[in-house]
Amino acid sequence: MNLYKTRVRFRGSALRTMVVLLCVGLLSCGGSYDEPDPGGSDDHTGAGEDSDMGGEPGAPDPQPEPEPEIEEAIVERVAATERYIFVPGGREGGDQIALIDGETFAVEPIQVGLNPRAVVAAEVAGVGAVAYVWSEGTSTVAVVRADLRDAAERPDVRVLRVPREVNQLAVAPGGRYALAYIDPELELPVQGGAISLQAMALIALGDAPGEDQVYRLSVTRQIESIRFSEDGRFGFVVGEEGISRLAFDEIKADRFVPTLDLGASNEDFPPRDQQALFTADASAMVLRTSQLAGLGVFELSEEGQAVRREQRVLLPGVPTDMELLERDVEGGLRREVLVAMRQVGQVARFDLDAVLAAQDEQEVSGLVELIALADEVDAGIARLTPDESQLLIFSTLPAEPTVGVLELESAELKTVRLRHQIRTLAFSPDSRTAVVVHRPKSGVPPADADPRERFEYEEGLSLWDLASGYVRAVALEAQPQTVLMVTTRAGAGWLYGMLVGEEADNFGVVRISLETFGVERLSVAQRPAQIGRVADQIFVTQNDARGRVTFFSIEDGTQRTVSGFELNAEIQ
């Protein structure tokens, strides 16, 4: 997993999470479809108008820092496996989590440590469902094997001690390794100047209960993001002092993990101002910074923190976002870097391996393809669809953004104009629908405002059919804190959104058909805390001291609630 924080694109101090394409020179747009504008206005404003700031490729003068793109995370990861949900107890001074079976709706209390705060879970091959639970009051991580029962027919639980400073967990793909680390955006469990913000613990799942290990690590300071290789063997810790690479199989004792040695490149890619992407096999990385009209491409050594080879990719503008696309092309793996440059209104594309093999800067320059975007498109962020066939290019800055849709195979570009500022954007699993969550205007609408104008001041989202360009605006009673998109066994798509407003009684769940865009409001008894999927159910945990979770059938939306499990746990 990566850190799920507010995504800040080109910031002075943050990082947090996209990009593209093709053809030197100008390339005409292949078509456009605009959301109907009842006012007939063609006025487009936004940060994209500063396109004269780029300069020549590789210009030595310092580059003006672009205005930050701020995209909020709206798709939340919850502690759930194929069958189980792991819910921390809501009672201060408690020492249990609830294990909820998504098939039978049975709820089982599990004792872990005092004040459990963070839970991550995974389905582990040969083991089953495993949860890692950090408890603040005891500075421990409990390893819960839900499918392995003890003599009393309770899940096997083993407790490991971790550093007092840690306050968050991340689990690697495959579930055999977890990291307990310090998220500087969360409250620290230990106060005072002694906190280094560099403490971390690696939890390695053993082949059998009792064989789990915990290793204390020192890594880069002020962690901004954590990434994992696709196979779960490597982790990358990105912080203000650089990037620490963790080879999990090689860590067999407590140790200090130095940052990657970039040599002279540290001057161009200062650790406090960089975004890093890593290949699925952890063999290469790409860096960008707000101070350079270009990128750094690095081949990493198999051992240690060394860089085997590096290349500088000079660009006509400062990158504001980037994506790494890895796919099979004619029987071989093609790894492409896609880059957005808002200042010059372009996107770039190049083959990562070809660039690494190039002999000089001139050869590298010839490998970069460029595409000019329509004038009204602000290329601040670029996002690949799940099927990796299209790239959406947009910005969170304009009040009325125009989004570019780039077909990666044909290089055809379409545009769609949205009437409201983008807070974040997500895709349906089948890549047919984009869900755009809007940022409402402050204040109140004019007394004579029409429905469209009033919507600009309300919480809401837009459902966008990518094939036709049809956009439907949906007003919501409260802010959508989390959205979740699922597909039924019959292939129908649904969106569930957890709504939580500022008022104590302003909350609920919205259910939207991704086939018809029909909207249904669902009620829950208490303020929602978390939403996710387990088995064939959507679950919504709620802020209830007794413990409460409501299930909605993905197939037909029928509702079932389980409550009182916190109280029952206390009785036991």
Element (H, E) at 295: strand 294-300
Question: Would you state the structure tokens that stand for residue 567, as one six-digit string?
Answer: 């109280």
**Which 3 state secondary structure label does DSSP give 221?**
coil
In degrees and rounded to multiples of 5, residue 39 shows phi and psi of -85, -10
List the beta bridge partners of residue 134.
118, 141
All residue ranges of the chain with pLDDT < 50 are 1-56, 58-60, 193-194, 567, 570-572
Strands lying side by side in the sheet with 471-475: 422-427, 433-438, 460-465, 471-475
Please calculate the CA angle 352-14-387 and round it to the nearest 5 degrees. Answer: 45
pLDDT tens-digit series, residues 223-253? 999 999 999 999 999 998 899 999 999 999 9
Query: What is the model's pLDDT at position 557?
Result: 85
Query: What is the model's pLDDT at position 195?
Result: 65
Residue whose structure tokens are 């001074």: 93
Query: What is the model's pLDDT at position 451?
Result: 86
pTM: 0.83
Bin 167: left if φ > 0, else alpha if -120 < ψ < 50, else beta.
Answer: alpha
Report the C-alpha gap between 88 and 94 in whole angstroms.
9
By CB atoms closer than 10 A (0-12, 13-18, 19+), residue 401 is buried
Report the C-alpha gap between 508 and 353 in whole angstroms.
48
Among residues 501, 507, 551, 502, the alpha carbon closest in space to that of 526 is found at 507
Query: What is the model's pLDDT at position 231?
Result: 95
Q: Which residue blocks in 333-474 are alpha helix, DSSP H?
A: 352-357, 361-366, 451-455
Question: Would you state the structure tokens that stand for residue 527, as one six-digit string?
Answer: 């303020």
What is the biggest distance separating any 2 CA atoms in the chain, rounded to whole angstroms?
A: 73
Q: Which residue blocks in 409-542 are alpha helix, DSSP H?
A: 451-455
Residue whose structure tokens are 């007003």: 475
Report the C-alpha gap between 314 and 299 in whole angstroms.
17
List the beta bridge partners of residue 326.
335
Strands lying side by side in the sheet with 128-135: 116-124, 128-135, 140-149, 155-161
Query: What is the model's pLDDT at position 26?
Result: 29
| CB neighbours of residue 560 within 10 Å | 12
pLDDT tens-digit series, residues 449-506? 888 889 899 999 999 999 999 999 999 989 998 999 999 888 889 999 999 988 888 8
Question: Would you state the structure tokens that stand for residue 255, as one six-digit string?
Answer: 């140790």
Query: What is the model's pLDDT at position 11?
Result: 32
Query: What is the model's pLDDT at position 62?
Result: 53
